[in-house]
């Protein structure tokens, strides 16, 4: 991302994150806060990355398991799902919600 940053302070911060010295700060910034690719791009607005590169940075969605809670004897032509909405607070008290459960 630093290669595509036009603001010098953003380029320096991204290069720091990519360095051995910035490894712990990168973990704190990204992993502990569960930041999305969109949130990272919002934090570094001068980064203008080609779409092809952006797609490579975006991780694939993880498989989700849902429970089928209906009975074919009671509802022969329907499937009912039981879904728990996932929500948690990050260490910096930011609310996070599950992607699929929240959408459903």
User: Strand, coil or helix: what is 24?
Assistant: helix
- Alpha carbons 51 and 54: distance in angstroms, whole number: 5
Structural domain including 73 reads 62-103
Q: Express each pLDDT in 46-80 by its tens digit.
A: 999 999 998 887 878 777 776 678 788 888 898 88
Mark whether 67 and 35 lie in a shared domain.
no
Q: Is 93 left (phi over 0), alpha (psi -120 to 50) or beta?
A: left
Q: Are residues 70 and 19 in the same domain?
A: no
Number of domains making up the chain: 2
Residues 41, 80, single domain; the answer is: no
Q: Using one digit for the tens of pLDDT, what is the confidence trace for 16-51?
A: 999 999 999 999 998 888 888 888 999 999 999 999
């Amino acid at each position: 991302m630093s290669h595509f940053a036009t603001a010098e302070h953003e380029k320096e911060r991204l290069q720091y994150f990519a360095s051995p010295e910035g490894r712990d700060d990168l973990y704190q910034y990204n992993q502990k806060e569960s930041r999305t690719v969109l949130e990272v791009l919002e934090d570094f607005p001068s980064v203008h990355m080609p779409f092809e590169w952006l797609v490579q940075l975006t991780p694939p969605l993880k498989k989700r398991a849902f429970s089928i809670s209906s009975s074919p004897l009671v509802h022969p032509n329907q499937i009912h799902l039981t879904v728990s909405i996932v929500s948690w607070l990050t260490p910096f008290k930011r609310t996070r919600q599950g992607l699929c459960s929240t959408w459903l």
